[in-house]
Amino acid sequence: MKSFTTLLTACLLCWLPGCAAPEKPVPRMPLPVSLASTKQVIQATDQGTREYKSGLYEDARTHFSQAVAGAPQSGAAHYNLGLALFALGETDEARGHFIEAANLEPGNKVIWDSPALRPYSDPEPTNKKKIKEYEGRSQVGRIGQGR
């Protein structure tokens, strides 16, 4: 009986630590812009990424804003700016950039996992159910744009 109790205690001690702490979410990291982007856009994105990783979100915002200005059709640039804005607590403005990024790169799974889009996180552009559900809640024809 004593060996059974010892074995049971050992099993519990091995099992409980795995259940005690919830799994930490994977931190989101900025995306690189296309190599076809201008040198200034690539440099601004690289600098913004370094600042974002260092927790300098205001500085990252400045550089990611420059990247968006230089490459307004880049989904990655909008996503990166959205990350910095979200980290600064500017969720409404961040949401707009996440949505623009999703519109520019509809199949990008990283973008569709952004905080603004997670409830609708099926990145397949052919999945009309998620888009229709979003349209019903937001009353827009295309994500982020009025009818």
Between CA 101 and CA 64 the distance in angstroms is 13
Between CA 16 and CA 106 the distance in angstroms is 42
CATH architecture of 35-138: Alpha Horseshoe (1.25)
Inter-residue contact 104 to 98 (CB < 8 Å)? no
For 97, 108, 139, the CA distances from 85, given in Å and listed in that order, are 9, 20, 24
pTM equals 0.66
Q: Where exactly are the structural domains of the chain?
A: 35-138
Predicted local distance difference test score (pLDDT) of residue 112:
85
Residue type, 101: A
Helix H or strand E encompassing 10: helix 2-20
Of 133, 109, 134, nearest to 123 by C-alpha is: 109
Question: Taking the chain (147 residues) in consecutive chunks of 10 residues, what is each chunk's mean pLDDT?
Answer: 63 56 65 93 97 96 97 96 93 91 91 74 45 43 44
